[in-house]
């Protein structure tokens, strides 16, 4: 049985649906990547799971975590869950670290509240968590304020706070986007190691396909608020089936291979108010037919074993 199971998740703001028909599972200890361009609904997926949608946003569908139905859970219980079994790392670490408390105080707070530790042992545990996320001189850093840390260290401190409650599922929303490649490499190695050591599942949100390819077993590719393709990462990268996944992978400049004009995707991603009623990729898709504009295509299994939301997937894959 999976740890998290999301079925037909939809998120709306007033009358505007920004996300719909989102379904996926995460098994214990698994790393699932969610990729997609800006505005495709990645953060809304994460925030709906955490019960932290912004004002005016509402979620529908089913989110089952362990044996609980998260969308039906009272806020009090949701709060407890967030501290204990579910944790999230936000994209902008400065926005989610409190500037007036030291890093150690912020970790200790979680430990006292959720693991009932006293002050002394919480401080000790904070140091070992900072060591776990490979912050050098943890004994000194534990008493420093967020502004005294570099970007990479802050991101690690965020991870340490998220790990303080030993979550079963860690949701990481663009945890490395703001970081340099050499720092990012370290954080990804760290996540990989932690997941092995702690058996923690990770939902990794990013727009960087390289990051996904590096660390995820399975991927959900989103386009304009819907799933375009989902499946094993190897299969998606080796043999993408959905025209959008194909176009996206072709458009990325590479570190090896030929140099020349890149096969760019014409046009732009539509905004939620302008979502086409049929396949959302149709206005930009080289394979589009009138039939594509009838309604959103359902996911169907492809030859490479992935699932793609495209009516012509048999012909174009």
Partner 1 sequence: MTALVQAAALGKTFAGGVRAVDGVDLAIAQGETLGLVGESGCGKSTLARVLIRLIEPDAGALTFRDRDITHLPDRAMRALRRDMGIVFQDPFGSLNPRMTVGQLIAEPMWIHGIGDRAARRARVPELLGLVGLLPEHASRYPHEFSGGQRQRIAIARALATEPAFLVCDEPTSALDVSIQAQVLNLLRDLQERLGLACLFVSHNLAAVRHMAPRVAVMYLGRIVEEAARDRLFAAPQHPYTQALLSAASEPGSERRTRIVLKGEVPSPANPPSGCRFRTRCPRAVSRCAEEEPQLAEVAPGQRVACHFPGALRPEELSAP
Ligand X SMILES: Nc1ncnc2c1ncn2[C@@H]1O[C@H](COP(=O)(O)OP(=O)(O)OP(=O)(O)O)[C@@H](O)[C@H]1O
* Residue with smaller CB distance to ligand SF4, 195 or 287: 287
- Residue of 58, 148, 151, 291 that binds partner 1 (CB under 8 A): 151
- Residue of 55, 95, 259, 273 that binds partner 1 (CB under 8 A): 259
Q: Which does 273 bind (CB under 5 to 8 A by kind): Mg ion, partner 1, ligand SF4, none?
A: none
Over the window 77 to 96, marking each residue x when it contacts ligand SF4 by CB under 6 A and - when it does not, the resulting string is --------------------
CB of 83 to ligand SF4, least distance (A): 42
CB of 291 to ligand X, least distance (A): 27
| Options 43-51, 145-153, 164-172, 303-311: segment touching partner 1 (CB under 8 A) | 145-153
* Residue with smaller CB distance to ligand SF4, 108 or 285: 285
What would the two tokens of residue 163 be?
């790990």
CB of 54 to ligand X, least distance (A): 4
* Residue with smaller CB distance to partner 1, 268 or 273: 268
* Residue with smaller CB distance to partner 1, 37 or 105: 37
The Cα–Cα gap between 22 and 240 comes to 19
* Residue with smaller CB distance to ligand SF4, 24 or 244: 244
* Residue with smaller CB distance to Mg ion, 42 or 242: 42
Which parts of 276-315 interact with ligand SF4 (CB under 6 A)? Answer: 279, 281-282, 285, 287-288, 292, 297, 310-312
Side-chain-side CA neighbours of 69 within 13 Å: the count stands at 8
Q: Which does 73 bind (CB under 5 to 8 A by kind): ligand X, partner 1, ligand SF4, none?
A: none
User: Is 124:117 a contact under the CB 8 Å cutoff?
Assistant: no
Which parts of 201-260 interact with ligand SF4 (CB under 6 A)? Answer: 243
Which parts of 182-211 interact with partner 1 (CB under 8 A)? Answer: 182-186, 188-189, 207-211
Question: Residue 92 CA to chain centroid, in angstroms?
Answer: 14
Q: Which does 285 bind (CB under 5 to 8 A by kind): ligand SF4, partner 1, ligand X, none?
A: ligand SF4
Q: Which does 43 bind (CB under 5 to 8 A by kind): Mg ion, ligand SF4, partner 1, none?
A: Mg ion
Q: Please name the residues in contact with 233: beta carbons below 8 A apart, sequence gap of 6 or more.
A: 33, 212, 213, 216, 217, 218, 219
Q: Which does 150 bind (CB under 5 to 8 A by kind): partner 1, ligand X, Mg ion, none?
A: partner 1
Q: DSSP states of the chain as a string?
A: --SEEEEEEEEEETTEEEEEEEEEEE-TT-EEEEE--TTSSHHHHHHHHHT-PPTTEEEEEEEEETTEEGGGS-HHHHHHHHHHTEEEE-S-HHHHS-TTS-HHHHHHHHHHHHH---HHHHHHHHHHHHHHTT-TTHHHHTTS-GGGS-HHHHHHHHHHHHHTT--SEEEEESTTTTS-HHHHHHHHHHHHHHHHHH--EEEEEES-HHHHHHH-SEEEEEETTEEEEEEEHHHHHHS--SHHHHHHHHHS--SSS--S---PPPS-PPPGGG--SS-TTGGG-TT--GGGGSSPPPPEE-TTS-EE--TTHHHH-
User: What is the phi/psi pair of residue 19, to 5°?
Assistant: -145, 140
Footprint of ligand SF4 on this chain (CB under 6 A)? Answer: 243, 279, 281-282, 285, 287-288, 292, 297, 310-312
Footprint of partner 1 on this chain (CB under 8 A)? Answer: 37-38, 136, 150-153, 180-186, 188-189, 207-214, 237-238, 247-249, 251-256, 259, 261-266, 268-269
């Amino acid at each position: 049985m999976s740890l998290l199971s999301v079925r037909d998740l939809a998120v709306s703001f007033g009358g505007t649906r920004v996300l719909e028909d989102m379904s996926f599972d995460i098994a214990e200890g698994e790393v699932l990547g969610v990729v997609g361009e800006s505005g495709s609904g990645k953060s809304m997926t994460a925030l709906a799971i955490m019960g932290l949608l912004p004002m005016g946003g509402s979620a529908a569908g089913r989110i089952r975590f362990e044996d609980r139905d998260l969308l039906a859970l009272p806020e009090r219980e949701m709060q407890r869950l967030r501290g204990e079994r579910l944790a999230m790392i936000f994209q902008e670490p400065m926005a989610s670290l409190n500037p007036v408390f030291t890093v150690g105080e912020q970790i200790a707070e979680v430990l006292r509240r959720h693991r009932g530790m006293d002050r002394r042992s919480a401080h000790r545990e904070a140091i070992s968590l900072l060591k776990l996320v490979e912050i050098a001189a943890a004994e000194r850093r534990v008493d420093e304020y967020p502004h005294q840390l570099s970007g990479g260290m802050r991101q690690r401190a965020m991870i340490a706070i998220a790990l303080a409650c030993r979550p079963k599922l860690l949701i990481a929303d663009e945890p490395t986007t703001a970081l340099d490649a050499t720092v990012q490499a370290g954080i990804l190695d760290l996540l990989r190691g932690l997941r092995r050591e702690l058996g923690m599942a990770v939902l990794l949100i990013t727009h960087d396909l390289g990051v996904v390819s590096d660390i995820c077993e399975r991927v959900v590719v989103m386009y304009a608020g819907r799933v375009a393709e989902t499946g094993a990462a190897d299969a998606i990268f080796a043999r993408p089936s959905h025209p959008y996944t194909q176009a996206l992978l072709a458009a990325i400049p590479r570190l090896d291979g030929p140099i020349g004009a890149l096969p760019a995707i014409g046009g732009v991603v539509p905004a939620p108010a302008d979502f086409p009623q049929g396949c959302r990729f149709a206005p930009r898709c080289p394979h589009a037919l009138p039939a594509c504009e009838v309604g959103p295509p359902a996911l169907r299994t492809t030859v490479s074993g992935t699932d793609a939301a495209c009516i012509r997937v048999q012909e174009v894959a």
